[in-house]
Chain A
Amino acid sequence: MQDDGIPALKGWSEAELDAAFAALRSELEKDDVFVALRGSPKSSEEIEEFRLRWLGRKQGRLKAISDAWLKAAPADAKKPLGQRFNTLKALIEARLESAAGSGMAAIALDAEAIDITLPGRRRKLGAEHPLIRTQHEIVGIFQRMGYSVGVGPEVETDYYNFESLNFPPGHPARDTQDTLVVAGQERKPLRERLLMRTHTSPVQIRTMERQAPPVRIVIPGKVHRNDAADATHSPIFHQVEGLCVDVGITFADLKGTLDHAMKELFGSSVRTRFFPSFFPFTEPSADVQISCPFCGGAGCRKCKQSGWIELLGCGMVDPAVFGFVQQKQPGYDPEKISGFAFGMGVDRIAMMKYGIGEIGLLYSGDLRFLEQFA
């Protein structure tokens, strides 16, 4: 062996060349990487080092030896020498290639592995407001049952908010609806005075005045009451009301419609039950309870252990209401047609569905709360 690491050649005979190349071959066989390329993985850096060590154009061992030997070789030995170098080179390349073709790529790519447990870079989604989401859900159910959407003004007249809904002036039923009024109305006749609507029911009247029967509308909207705020009360809240008027509409239809809607909203196992109630604009009037969708009726915290949750007010449209409407639409003859109306609090339903404890959160704009609906 010489100082520059080039093995010495004993001679140029075929046998002597074979012996020299066998020695080179055994040196290669001792290279860890060459061995490893058959099985156990090596990093791409190690493989590249190995390739450069043997095949590198400048410092590669094969290049160095072939340069040295070919230079010294007599002309007739150059060809057999060249053939043997090519064989050896092919062997190394084949090994490198086979590694790249199979486990090699995986090995190399594994070396580029990253920590996928780091959280994603997430673009913030806008979140739809839970009340809007709930409102859309409820409205959608009734749209599929043939109801059109109706809306009306938030500032109403006393006539539409009260009188035409059979709340006569000075009637005790008005006490149940603490009303915010627009300033400076005192000199107007009572029925023209402006107030913040306390329910979306005025839209029932406005719709019937515009449209002869049959009518099926669902009315979502914001309403206001002069109510001090607490965990379950807000001066602002949202309602969805519905109205169905036609020939032959019955209390049984009202029951069936709401039973169906509640099953759509809370799941098909939900049951409904109806209790007599009082609303000036419906008669008979009812409160509707649904079997608790959380415990199936067994009793839990959400239903205060009763198994039932009160959710709706409803009833058959009072003939007196048709009487008011008839002043503009004579088709609403209570002797010929009949109808039902119902209403529900969107806030209450949203709070129940999503487990919201404070109604005030819905009107706060607090992103820590709202983001949860994204």
Chain B
Amino acid sequence: MRILSNWIREYVPGIAVSDRELADDLTLRGIAVEGVFDLGAHGSLFEMDITTNRVDAMNHYGIAREAATIYGLPLKAVDASLPPARTGARPYPVRIEEPKLCGRFTARVLRDVRIAPSTGIVAERFRLLEQKPIANAVDATNYVTLAMGHPTHAFDLDKVEGGIVVRRARKGEKLKTLDGVERTLDPDDLVVADEKKALALAGVIGGWDTMITPETKNVLVEAAWFDPGTVRRASKRHLVHTDASHRFERGADFNAPPVANALVSRIILESGGWIEGDLVDVVAPEAEARTAKRASIGFRVSEVQRILGPTDDEQGITAAAAESILTGLGCDLSSASDGQAVTLPSWRLDLEREIDLIEEIARVYGYNRFRNTLPPFAGSVVELPWAEKEAAVRGTLLALGFTEAISSSFCGAEDAALFAREPGSAVAIGNPLSEEAGMLRPSLVPGMLEMLALNLSRDVDDAALFELGTAFSGSPENGYARVEERPALAVGATGQALGSGDVDFSDMKGAMEALLGRFAARSVYFDRFPAASGLMPAWLHPGRSARAAVDGATVAWFGQLHPAEAERRKLKQTVWVGEVWLDRLYKQDPRQPAVRELSRFQAVRRDFSVLLPERVTYAALSSAVDALAIPEIQGYAAKEVLRGGRQIPEGQYSLLLGVVFQSHERTLREEEVQQWSREVVGALEGMGGKLRG
């Protein structure tokens, strides 16, 4: 919205400061001037940003009132004087059928007017404000809106058939509006009509048939007050947002219509014409009681101090200062049993409660004149129950070389179906930004794949990422009665992101082991299911992926992305992904380090090179070694696994198992170690293994 400083000064003649200072003073009081443009002899143009609650300040007179209050200066009344009317005619018939929706309607008949381009101050101010002039009768209504913020309308009286009726639209009733659109109305729409037809969508937009044209001779000037909710619903229903609807839906001044009507009439009459009869002013008393005559509210200066606190000025906000601010804004104060009773101005429907008055006082007094204090506090600080766990997960992945990323909370329907934890549990968005963002993500994996794909498409061939976020699920019956939110983790890696070789299953499993190792679970194991079982997620390569279970419950799936899925996403290289169900993992306590005693005696290392049949897994072999239950076996590991090549027969593989023997009580004797070694060999042979020379 644009404002002319000279127009403000016309209403408050005493302003002593420069336009720039005026702009700063208004801004500090919440009447934000975003830009000041020099207009030379015409003063300045202010580009305003008025908050939605201050519709009263969305015009020159409203801002002038703020300036008058700030500087303690008198505000001139709007000159609404008119030449005398020719009497004798019957008052123009106006009937309000819906007094709840139209609280006030004023009508004035002007005859023998001359429709012409605007001249004088109207033309000049329109030019300065870069507002397009149309014709005097139309410009007059717009000028009055600029001046005092109240929307009005001028009808071509000769197109109006009979008296004015303000009523609900009839179902299916048609109205061609000023924008040339033929609209079908709804019974919830309020219309200004004549005896035969709707003339205008009340408070929103005028009708085509009764608009002012160069041929117009006689004019009916309307200034009314419409119910904010009704205007808002009509504006939304018909997708037409006008300056008038913007103002009415925020609450216009109930007492403005007679003044606005007079101002419009005066401007039109400047080009010729005369007034027929007195102003018709129909008032709905209930609406008036809710607005202009609403009950006074109580106000206590003590509350000002309790809510706002100390100011730089030792005195603080005195009763006199508070009263002067409220009076300046149009309130009337009188003493009451508990403090004061404040009668509220008709143009400030946003003022309803004592706190509203306290805000006005703080605002006009100046926010920056309050001190900066720190409140005392004797409570304790509580961390989120999972903060430590989340920190462990994040810290582990960062240390392993995964970079944290954040992706969209949404995904497309295809991905939602593929990645949902339970079939059909994905949640749809009613008004999505796009089709690809039509669903709430049931998993963080689709986002991870998208981010890996983006990196690959930008020649970042080595990428290791993780994302911590929320996965959503629900059931569409009964309109998603509940949407479940679960903390989830996705990890993804490709290329040589985690070392000098290409990322492989072991890298991913190692990362999972490190991650799960941060929790105090009794058991962690990894397994997989045959492709045909249907137990593996469809997005994973069934032969190169695994499930991780903690204390028997599935907490993660990870492995190579299914080749078909990689193909569909046009990924140019192998991608490894995993998903961790943190809602389950977080049921575990974080692992507390517990130090085991270090042996003072020397460890003995023995390596066993063995050929094993392909079907023997490391897990099976490991159980066989564990079954020996030799307490002096301090640890063992596969140091090397070889497949193929001349040395290794078909259907077998070679394993180098390194075993460490150590005791906490004594130095081991050679015979003992030999005995245990024989037992280890026995276990390996029991698995079908053959010791290599």
Contacts and interface: CB of A to CB of B under 8 A. Distances in A.
Nearest to A280: B53
Interface string B351-363: 0010110110011
Interface string A100-123: 000000000000000000000001
A158 interface: no
Given A170-B232, A180-B433, A256 B465 contact: no
A86 to B, nearest CB: 45
A137 interface: no
A146 B379 contact: yes
B479 A226 contact: no
Interface string B394-438: 100111111111111100000000000000000111111100010
Contacts of A366: 451, 454-455, 458, 460
B310 interface: yes
Given A155-B440, A275-B32, A182 B429 contact: yes
A284 B363 contact: yes
Contact of A277 (B30, B249, B353): B30
B371 interface: yes
Interface string B374-389: 1101011111100100
Contacts of A249: 375
Contacts of A370: 403-405, 465
A365 B30 contact: no
A143 B381 contact: yes
Contacts of B363: 276, 284
A contact patch SS: mixed
B372 A276 contact: no
Interface in B339-372: 353, 355-356, 358-359, 362-363, 367-368, 370-372
Interface string A170-193: 101101100011111111100000
Classify chain A's interface size: 35 or more
B408 A236 contact: yes
A30 interface: no
A260 to B, nearest CB: 6
Contacts of B51: 277-278
A253 B377 CA distance: 12
A22 interface: no
Nearest to B470: A154
A278 B454 contact: no
A232 to B, nearest CB: 16
B460 A367 contact: yes
Contact of B375 (A125, A222, A226, A253): A253
A235 B408 CA distance: 9
B431 to A, nearest CB: 6
Contacts of B460: 366-368
A147 B381 CA distance: 6
Interface string A280-302: 00011110000000000000000
A82 interface: no
A126 to B, nearest CB: 4
Contacts of B309: 250-253
A363 B407 contact: yes
Contact of B371 (A149, A183, A236, A256): A256
B479 A188 contact: yes
Interface string B591-612: 0000000000000000000000
Nearest 6 A/B pairs, CB to CB: A276-B30, A365-B451, A250-B309, A252-B309, A126-B398, A256-B372
7 contacts: A124-B498, A186-B479, A214-B377, A276-B363, A278-B53, A278-B54, A363-B406
Interface of A: 123-129, 131-132, 143, 145-151, 153-155, 170, 172-173, 175-176, 180-188, 194, 196, 214, 216, 222, 224, 226, 228, 235-236, 244, 246, 248-253, 255-257, 259-260, 273-278, 283-286, 316, 318-319, 338, 362-368, 370-371, 374
